[in-house]
């Protein structure tokens, strides 16, 4: 009987049975959300179609800004350290950082800052209108400036949205997500084709 | 004054090389030196060699506790946390013990009613090794670090526990109440075993695990270009290898003194 169960489980796995999202350690989304469609400008000044460029990969979408003192650099460092540690995973994951501070985050600044974390990371910018539309498409609150002085901060969504290769988001990752959680979830998401 | 903290604690902000005052650490570093000086002057002739060792021990305590090392160890870098532990247990504690005259040590332990316990511990290698390693493991456990380093009292308790661990470790070697009788090779073997065996397990784990163990340091804003894992690997290496100069130089001194006594030199 046990052997029959094992064979049945293996057969199901071989047929591409969906990986249970209950194993995800991020904040799971009850009704998976489709990947948004928007085109912004990448850090080399070229147009970047988010949905098309990340097709077939695990897409990690994060809205932040390079002068962010805490959440943004920590998220970026966490994901980059995981991808450095797991090169096989790095080939299946694409992190896209969308700046919500177009005044200061020039393409050059994005190249320097985003590229400094991991060579595969992509930084995007755009006009205020394009960035607002992208945030709305991704169902995150629209970021806004806090303070008038030169060293202003930007209030923005502090979580990373993960889209599986099937084009759906099953989970998000708030500030404080640990590397063990990233490793666990990226491995699961990478298999959800 | 609302932001004034009296002891180093994990901070929820990026690291900055801006100095932070910690009055509690200054008081804990200066007060014992003042009391020590008053006590030895009142007692009569001052043994300045001992006094210098005591002051040196307090200076090491201050350096390990205060900004920047204390702040880095409290919330930013596992390697700084480990360096603090080594300074407290392998430098500050033995220097304070070497600098404490027997009459002063007895006065303190008598008042605390722990003289017999301290004398018994000083003659018991196994119990000292167990207690030292228990404190080492307990204070480096991720849960302990996460809880204690988040508040000032807990952070101060951890620092004091490390000094206490050092005192326990060195009791059979340099107890101010008089050391255990017996062959010096026994003390050498004790020191080697107590510091070198159990620590291998956590040190190896920190060095070779693929993801960071301490959430506190992993999620802290990075201070240097080191990744959280690299910082943890350095912590593991410090835990294992940095004890070598402290322990082996002590063993060498003990060996040469023993050889000299035996007339073998």
Tell me the ipTM for this assembly: 0.85
Q: Is the pLDDT of residue A130 over 60?
A: yes
Q: What is the pLDDT of residues B3-44, one digit of tens each?
A: 689 999 999 889 999 999 999 999 999 999 999 999 999 998
Q: Could you tell me if B85 and B162 are in contact, meaning their C-beta atoms sit under 8 angstroms apart?
A: yes
Locate B10 and state its tokens. 């994990």
Best mutation target, A67, A74, A181, A182, to test chain B (most B CBs within 10 A): A74
The closest alpha carbon to B37, from B25, B54, B24, B23, belongs to B54
Bridge partners (DSSP) of residue A163 are A59, A169
Q: Do the domain assignments include residue B7?
A: no
Residues 6 or more apart in contact with residue B12 via CB below 8 angstroms: A70
B225 touches chain A (CB under 8 A): no
pLDDT at A34: 97
pLDDT (average), residues A43-54: 97
Q: Do the domain assignments include residue B4?
A: no
Q: What is the strand order of the sheet A58-64 is part of?
A: A27-34, A168-173, A160-163, A58-64, A93-99, A122-125, A39-42, A47-49
pLDDT (average), residues B207-231: 95
A69 touches chain B (CB under 8 A): yes
Residues 6 or more apart in contact with residue A96 via CB below 8 angstroms: A48, A50, A53, A54, A59, A60, A61, A62, A121, A122, A124
Chain B CB contacts of A69 below 8 Å: 13-14, 221
A37 touches chain B (CB under 8 A): no
Torsion over CA: A50, A114, A176, B2 (sign): negative
B229 touches chain A (CB under 8 A): yes
Read off the DSSP letter of residue B46: -
Chain B CB contacts of A176 below 8 Å: 219
Nearest to B222 among A73, A84, A183 (CB): A73
The closest alpha carbon to B170, from B237, B254, B261, B108, belongs to B254
Q: What is the pLDDT of residues A102-121, one digit of tens each?
A: 999 999 999 999 999 999 99
Chain B CB contacts of A84 below 8 Å: 227
Best mutation target, B142, B150, B218, B229, to test chain A (most A CBs within 10 A): B218
B211 touches chain A (CB under 8 A): yes
Q: How confident is the model at residue A14 (pLDDT cuts 50, 70, 90)?
A: very low
pLDDT (average), residues B141-154: 96
Q: Is the pLDDT of residue A8 over 60?
A: no
Best mutation target, A174, A178, A182, to test chain B (most B CBs within 10 A): A178
* % pLDDT > 70, chain A: 90
Q: Do B210 and A85 touch (CB under 8 A)?
A: yes
Q: Do the domain assignments include residue B13?
A: no
Q: What is the pLDDT of residues A77-107, one digit of tens each?
A: 999 999 999 999 999 999 999 999 999 999 9
pLDDT (average), residues B219-248: 93
Q: Do A78 and B221 touch (CB under 8 A)?
A: no
Read off the DSSP letter of residue B221: P
Q: Do the domain assignments include residue B119?
A: yes
Number of domains in chain B: 1
B45 touches chain A (CB under 8 A): no
Q: Do B228 and A85 touch (CB under 8 A)?
A: no
Distance between A152 CA and the closest CA of chain B, angstroms? 16
What topology does CATH give the domain A23-190?
A: Glutaredoxin (3.40.30)
A128 touches chain B (CB under 8 A): no
- Helices B228-241 + B243-261 axis angle, to 10: 0
> Residue ranges of the domains in chain A?
23-190
Peptide bond just before B68 cis, omega within 30 deg: yes
Residues B163-202 as b or e (16 or more Cβ within 10 Å = b): bbbbbbbbbbbbbbbeebeeebeebbebbeebbeebbeeb
Chain A CB contacts of B215 below 8 Å: 178
Distance between A74 CA and the closest CA of chain B, angstroms? 6
* Number of DSSP helices (H) and strands (E) in chain B, helices first: 15, 0
Cα–Cα distance measured from residue A131 to residue A114, given in angstroms and rounded to the nearest whole number: 17
Residues 6 or more apart in contact with residue B154 via CB below 8 angstroms: B147, B148
- Phi then psi dihedrals of residue B237, to 5 deg: -65, -40
Residue B55 lies in domain: 23-261
Cα–Cα distance measured from residue A164 to residue A170, given in angstroms and rounded to the nearest whole number: 7
Question: Which residue of chain B is at minimal alpha-carbon distance from A179?
Answer: B211
Q: Do the domain assignments include residue B63?
A: yes
pLDDT (average), residues B232-252: 91
Locate B104 and state its tokens. 């002063």
Question: Which residue of chain A is at minimal alpha-carbon distance from B16?
Answer: A69
Q: Do the domain assignments include residue B76?
A: yes
């Amino acid at each position: 009987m046990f052997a029959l169960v094992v064979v049945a489980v293996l057969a199901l796995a071989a047929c591409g049975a969906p990986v249970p999202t209950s194993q995800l350690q991020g904040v799971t989304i009850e009704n998976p959300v489709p990947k948004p469609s928007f085109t912004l400008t990448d850090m080399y000044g070229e147009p970047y179609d988010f949905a098309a460029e990340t097709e077939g990969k695990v897409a990690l979408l994060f809205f932040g800004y390079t002068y962010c003192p805490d959440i943004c650099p920590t998220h970026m460092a966490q994901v980059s350290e995981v991808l450095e540690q797991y090169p096989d995973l790095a080939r299946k994951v694409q992190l896209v950082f969308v700046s919500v501070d177009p005044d200061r985050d020039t393409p050059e600044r994005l190249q320097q800052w985003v590229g400094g974390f991991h060579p595969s990371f992509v930084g995007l910018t755009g006009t205020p209108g394009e960035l607002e539309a992208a945030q709305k498409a991704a169902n995150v609150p629209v970021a806004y400036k806090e303070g008038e002085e030169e060293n202003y901060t930007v209030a923005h969504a502090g979580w990373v949205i993960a889209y599986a290769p099937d084009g759906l988001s099953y989970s998000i990752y708030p500030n404080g997500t640990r590397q063990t959680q990233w490793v666990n979830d990226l491995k699961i998401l990478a298999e959800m084709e | 004054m609302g932001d004034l903290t009296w002891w180093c604690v994990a901070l929820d902000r990026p690291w900055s090389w801006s100095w932070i005052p910690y009055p509690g650490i200054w008081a804990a570093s200066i007060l014992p030196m003042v009391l020590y000086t008053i006590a030895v002057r009142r007692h009569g002739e001052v043994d300045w060699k001992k006094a210098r060792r005591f002051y040196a021990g307090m200076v090491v305590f201050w350096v390990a506790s205060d900004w920047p090392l204390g702040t880095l160890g409290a919330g930013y870098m596992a390697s700084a946390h480990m360096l603090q532990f080594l300074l407290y247990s392998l430098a500050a504690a033995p220097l304070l013990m070497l600098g404490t005259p027997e009459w002063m040590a007895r006065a303190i332990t008598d008042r605390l009613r722990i003289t017999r316990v301290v004398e018994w511990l000083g003659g018991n290698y196994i119990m000292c090794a167990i207690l030292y390693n228990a404190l080492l493991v307990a204070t480096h456990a991720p849960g302990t670090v996460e809880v204690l380093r988040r508040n000032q009292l807990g952070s101060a308790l951890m620092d004091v526990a490390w000094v206490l661990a050092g005192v326990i470790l060195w009791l059979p070697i340099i107890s101010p109440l008089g050391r255990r009788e017996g062959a010096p090779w026994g003390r050498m073997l004790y020191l080697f075993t107590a510091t070198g065996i159990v620590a291998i397990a956590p040190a190896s784990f920190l060095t070779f695990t693929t993801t960071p163990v301490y959430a506190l340091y992993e999620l802290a804003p990075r201070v240097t270009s080191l990744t959280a894992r690299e910082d943890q690997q350095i912590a593991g290496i410090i835990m294992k290898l940095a004890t070598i100069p402290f322990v082996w130089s002590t063993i060498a001194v003990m060996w040469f003194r023993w050889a000299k006594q035996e007339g073998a030199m």
